[in-house]
């Protein structure tokens, strides 16, 4: 079962949202430990985080001096985890940490599984879902499911709750959005058990800082093939 939980929050230039995002995690009361990684922000994100966690003993913030990507930020966090499980939470307010409670419930029943928050199952609230990203995600999820012989409905979801012993040994190679494919593919080699839990979603616009692009969809397809046929290593 989930004895205790670390919330890992990578962020880059999120001064508009980081404080609210962190406060939502704190308010949800899900975290025994919070690790934030500033991936070389050039705005006031790092300062805002430090102000917010100043009196919170179970939270810490780490910092890259330059922007190296989400994969690198997660690799840094691996060495600081002290709990049985971790969950990845992006700092952009698109995901609601209250949904992690349901993910914890599922993990308690299957503690060695990866619990994936899916935006395409159930009747949870989903707002501002772009049609092109919706259909692209559905196509990429279908492609991944066929290639890996394991059905996944939302390959691009960042909400992943997993055993810490897997995360600590996960040497992430990707730094773009392709890390979502890499983590799922490597977990299927670790333990062929990924359980999906419906989550809500509040998409933001590109003007508000949404970062995913069309090229990322092409990378998803390439990396799906790479981690299925050409890269079997879990620890490298």
Q: How many CA atoms lie within 13 A of 50 on its CB side?
A: 7
175-192: per-residue pLDDT in tens? 877 899 999 999 999 988
Strand spans (E) along 164-223: 194-198, 201-202
61-72: per-residue pLDDT in tens? 999 999 999 999
CATH class of 5-230: alpha beta
Query: So what's the pLDDT on residue 186?
Result: 94
Name which of 52, 53, 50, 69 is nearest 12 in CA terms.
69
- 3-state DSSP assignment of residue 59: strand
84-119: per-residue pLDDT in tens? 999 999 998 999 999 999 999 999 999 999 999 999
Q: If pLDDT is split at 50, 70 and 90, which confidence band does 141 have?
A: very high
Q: If pLDDT is split at 50, 70 and 90, which confidence band does 49 have?
A: very high
Instruction: Specify burial of residue 77 (Cβ count, 10 A radius: 0-12, 13-18, 19+).
Output: buried
For the ranges 2-16, 92-106, 129-143, 175-189, the lowest mean pLDDT is seen at 129-143
Q: If pLDDT is split at 50, 70 and 90, which confidence band does 202 have?
A: confident
- Mean pLDDT along residues 140-150: 94
Token output for 29: 């009361």
Name which of 47, 30, 40 is nearest 10 in CA terms.
40
Strand spans (E) along 45-155: 59-64, 85-88, 114-118, 126-127
Query: So what's the pLDDT on residue 234?
Result: 45
**Euclidean distance between CA atoms 146 and 166, whole angstroms:** 24
For strand 194-198 and strand 114-118, is the pairing parallel, antiparallel, or unpaired?
parallel
Query: So what's the pLDDT on residue 125?
Result: 62
Strand order through the sheet with 114-118:
59-64, 33-39, 5-11, 85-88, 160-163, 114-118, 194-198
How much is the mean pLDDT over the chain? Answer: 89
**Euclidean distance between CA atoms 96 and 98, whole angstroms:** 5
Domain borders along the chain are 5-230
Backbone φ/ψ region at 155: left (φ over 0), alpha (ψ -120 to 50), beta: alpha
pTM of the model: 0.89
35-48: per-residue pLDDT in tens? 999 999 999 999 99
30 contacts 7 by C-beta, under 8 angstroms: yes
Q: How far is CA 76 from the centre of its chain?
A: 14
Is residue 209's pLDDT more than 50?
A: no
Strand spans (E) along 141-232: 160-163, 194-198, 201-202
Query: So what's the pLDDT on residue 185?
Result: 94
Q: If pLDDT is split at 50, 70 and 90, which confidence band does 80 have?
A: very high
- Mean pLDDT along residues 208-235: 67
Is residue 161's pLDDT more than 80?
A: yes
Is residue 121's pLDDT more than 60?
A: yes
């Amino acid at each position: 079962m989930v004895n205790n939980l670390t919330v890992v929050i990578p962020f880059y230039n999120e001064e508009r949202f980081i404080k609210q995002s962190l406060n939502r995690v704190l308010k949800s009361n899900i975290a025994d430990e919070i690790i934030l990684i500033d991936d070389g922000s050039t705005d006031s994100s790092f300062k805002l985080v430090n102000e917010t966690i100043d009196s919170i003993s179970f939270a810490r913030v780490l910092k890259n001096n330059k922007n190296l990507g989400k994969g690198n930020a997660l690799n840094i966090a691996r060495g600081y985890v002290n709990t049985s499980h971790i969950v990845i939470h992006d700092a952009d307010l698109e995901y609601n940490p209250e949904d992690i409670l349901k993910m914890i419930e599922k993990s308690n029943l299957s503690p060695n599984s990866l619990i994936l928050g899916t935006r395409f199952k159930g009747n949870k609230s989903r707002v501002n879902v772009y049609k092109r990203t919706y259909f692209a995600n559905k196509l990429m999820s279908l492609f991944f499911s066929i290639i890996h012989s394991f059905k996944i409905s939302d390959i691009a979801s960042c909400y992943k709750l997993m055993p810490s012993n897997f995360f600590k040994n996960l040497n992430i190679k990707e730094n773009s959005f392709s890390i979502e494919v890499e983590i799922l593919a490597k977990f299927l080699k670790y333990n062929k058990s990924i359980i999906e839990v419906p989550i809500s979603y509040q998409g933001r616009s590109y003007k508000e800082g949404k970062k995913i692009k069309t090229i990322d969809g092409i990378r998803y397809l390439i990396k799906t093939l790479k981690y299925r046929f050409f890269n079997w290593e879990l620890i490298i």
